[in-house]
């Protein structure tokens, strides 16, 4: 298991003798939007339901999602975060090989290595005149039909940490040209930060049954501590995973939270707007520093290439001692050089981050 994910506020809190909520965490790509008062009231009103077992199959959430996307509720599986499906698919499908587009979320590789699946890279991080989108689409289109047979293809869209976003129509066009024996795992955990569903998601298109879509509730709603996400598939992978689902895989408070949040799509819009306003502020101010080169990305987090003598490890450690977490990207496979990733918080926090970074360099 990789311990280099973002969001480890507990370790730094122990080191500094502070509360976890006092850590300024720019390393976790979750919405910083404060919870609506009505949301807190809802959970408090329902607190006694912790005495009860959860819904065995998250039926209420699946019905709400089915209404939102005009799909059958049986197309949705709800589990303890997208991690459940990322690790479950290689184990259940036993693919001959897996294709992963680096740099990306490390759990795809970890899940495949745990099942001894042979891993192949889709292209490499771009350099020179070719954009990341051009490189990625060319590499994807060039995948050989024979080698794709009985394979898994993991695509994070938009991608973490680069922020690359491929329009769903373009992605679907390529997938439809490839053999149906390949299973395409499209992780849309950050799609709500791009735009509304009709712009950002495959869920509004007619997808073949070999596409598995992953969606996180943690990111856009800012509830990673509740561990809840969903998988959408209309074909065999979904049916086979459904047969292996354990009862009560999602705790009751997580169910109640998502049941509430799905009824208020304006929460997603407000989070999206806030994040992009604050990202623009961070990018504009840090780009004025000679050591920071912003890597263009469509998502709400910002990836920076550090120049000169500035090292990601040194910067992240210096900020850590001040109770501030940024994402040191040195353990992202496929990134050559010094990179950090910053996810925006509320404006006062972002101003403090800029002030501390400016003082350090």
Rounded mean pLDDT of 287-296?
94
Say if 54 falls within a structural domain: yes
- Predicted TM-score (pTM) of this structure: 0.94
Question: Does residue 166 share a domain with residue 117?
Answer: yes
CATH number (domain holding residue 55): 3.40.640.10
Cβ 326 vs Cβ 319: under 8 Å: yes
How many domains does the chain contain in total?
2
pLDDT over 70 percentage in the chain: 96
Q: Who contacts 37 (Cβ-Cβ below 8 Å, separation ≥6)?
A: none
The band of 127, judged by pLDDT with boundaries at 50, 70 and 90, is: low
Say if 237 falls within a structural domain: yes
The band of 345, judged by pLDDT with boundaries at 50, 70 and 90, is: very high
Does pLDDT of 130 surpass 70? no
Question: Does residue 247 share a domain with residue 286?
Answer: no
Q: What's the CA gap between 6 and 215, in Å, rounded?
A: 19
Give the pLDDT of residue 124.
Answer: 63
Does pLDDT of 123 surpass 80? no
Q: Who contacts 144 (Cβ-Cβ below 8 Å, separation ≥6)?
A: none
Give the pLDDT of residue 126.
Answer: 60
Does pLDDT of 237 surpass 80? no
Question: Does residue 289 share a domain with residue 256?
Answer: no
CATH number (domain holding residue 326): 3.90.1150.10
Query: What confidence tens digit (pLDDT) does each residue in 315-337 have?
Result: 999 999 999 999 999 989 989 89
Domain around 213: 38-261
Does pLDDT of 208 surpass 80? yes
Q: What's the CA gap between 137 and 154, in Å, rounded?
A: 14
Give the pLDDT of residue 245.
Answer: 77
Q: Chain-wide mean pLDDT for the chain?
A: 92
Q: Which of 237, 261, 285 is the last residue of a domain?
A: 261
6-10, 31-35, 166-170, 212-216 — which is least confidently predicted? 6-10
Give the pLDDT of residue 241.
Answer: 75
Give the pLDDT of residue 4.
Answer: 53
Phi/psi at 79 (5° precision): -145, -170
Say if 329 falls within a structural domain: yes
Question: Does residue 207 share a domain with residue 346?
Answer: no
Say if 148 falls within a structural domain: yes
Question: Does residue 78 share a domain with residue 146?
Answer: yes
Say if 1 falls within a structural domain: no
Query: What confidence tens digit (pLDDT) does each residue in 35-93 have?
Result: 999 999 999 999 999 999 999 999 999 999 999 999 999 999 999 999 999 999 999 99
Question: Does residue 27 share a domain with residue 42?
Answer: no
From residue 25, give the alpha-carbon distance in Å to each of 5, 116, 302, 350.
Answer: 12, 34, 14, 10
Question: Does residue 175 share a domain with residue 255?
Answer: yes
Q: Which of 235, 261, 287 is the last residue of a domain?
A: 261
Q: Which of 261, 283, 306 is the last residue of a domain?
A: 261
Say if 341 falls within a structural domain: yes
Question: Does residue 188 share a domain with residue 116?
Answer: yes
Q: What's the CA gap between 128 and 147, in Å, rounded?
A: 29
Facing residues of 303 across strands?
A: 295, 341
The band of 125, judged by pLDDT with boundaries at 50, 70 and 90, is: low
Rounded mean pLDDT of 244-258?
91
Per-residue buried b or exposed e for 41-66, using 16+ beta carbons within 10 Å of the residue's own CB: ebeeebeeeeeeebbebbebbbebbb
Say if 104 falls within a structural domain: yes
Q: What's the CA gap between 136 and 297, in Å, rounded?
A: 14
Give the pLDDT of residue 136.
Answer: 86
Does pLDDT of 128 surpass 70? no
Q: What's the CA gap between 23 and 221, in Å, rounded?
A: 19
Question: Does residue 287 share a domain with residue 257?
Answer: no
Question: Does residue 210 share a domain with residue 253?
Answer: yes
Cβ 270 vs Cβ 33: under 8 Å: yes
Give the pLDDT of residue 225.
Answer: 93
Per-residue buried b or exposed e for 289-327, using 16+ beta carbons within 10 Å of the residue's own CB: bebbeebebbbbbbbbbbeeebebeebbeebbeebbbbb
The band of 219, judged by pLDDT with boundaries at 50, 70 and 90, is: very high
The band of 144, judged by pLDDT with boundaries at 50, 70 and 90, is: confident
Question: Does residue 22 share a domain with residue 160?
Answer: no
Query: What confidence tens digit (pLDDT) does each residue in 100-119 have?
Result: 999 999 999 999 999 999 99
Q: What's the CA gap between 210 and 241, in Å, rounded?
A: 14
Structure tokens at 87: 């690790």
Question: Does residue 220 share a domain with residue 75?
Answer: yes
Say if 212 falls within a structural domain: yes
Structure tokens at 122: 């889709």
């Amino acid at each position: 298991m990789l311990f280099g994910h973002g969001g480890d506020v507990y370790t730094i809190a122990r080191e500094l003798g502070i509360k976890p909520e006092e850590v300024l965490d720019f390393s976790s790509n979750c919405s910083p939007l404060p919870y609506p008062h009505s949301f807190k009231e809802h959970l408090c009103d329902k607190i006694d339901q912790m005495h009860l077992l959860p819904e065995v199959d998250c039926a209420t959430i699946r019905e709400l999602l089915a209404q939102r996307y005009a799909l059958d509720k049986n197309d949705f599986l709800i589990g303890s975060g997208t991690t459940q499906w990322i690790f479950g698919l290689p184990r259940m499908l036993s693919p001959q090989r897996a294709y992963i587009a680096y740099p990306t979320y490390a759990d795809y590789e970890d899940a495949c290595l745990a099942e001894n699946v042979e891993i192949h890279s889709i292209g490499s991080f771009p350099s020179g005149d070719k954009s990341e989108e051009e490189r990625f689409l060319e590499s994807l289109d060039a995948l050989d039909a024979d080698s794709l047979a009985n394979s898994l293809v993991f695509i994070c869209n938009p991608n973490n940490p680069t922020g690359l976003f491929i329009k769903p129509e373009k992605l679907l066009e390529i997938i439809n040209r490839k053999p149906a024996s390949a299973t395409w795992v499209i992780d849309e955990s950050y799609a709500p930060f791009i735009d509304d569903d009709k712009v950002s998601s495959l869920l509004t298109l007619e997808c073949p049954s070999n596409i598995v879509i992953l969606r996180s509730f943690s990111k856009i709603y800012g509830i990673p501590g509740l561990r809840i996400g969903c998988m959408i598939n209309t074909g065999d992978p979904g049916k086979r995973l459904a047969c292996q689902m354990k009862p009560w895989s999602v705790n009751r408070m997580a169910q109640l939270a998502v049941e509430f949040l799905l009824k208020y799509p304006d929460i997603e819009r407000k989070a999206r707007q806030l994040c992009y306003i604050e990202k623009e502020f961070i990018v504009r101010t840090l780009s004025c520093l000679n050591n920071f080169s912003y890597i263009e990305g469509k998502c709400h987090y910002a990836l920076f290439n550090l120049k000169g003598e500035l090292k990601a490890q040194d910067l992240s450690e210096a900020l850590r001692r001040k109770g501030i977490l940024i994402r040191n990207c040195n353990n992202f496979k496929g990134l050559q050089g010094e990179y950090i990733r910053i996810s925006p918080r509320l404006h006062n926090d972002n101003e403090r981050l800029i002030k501390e970074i400016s003082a350090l360099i």
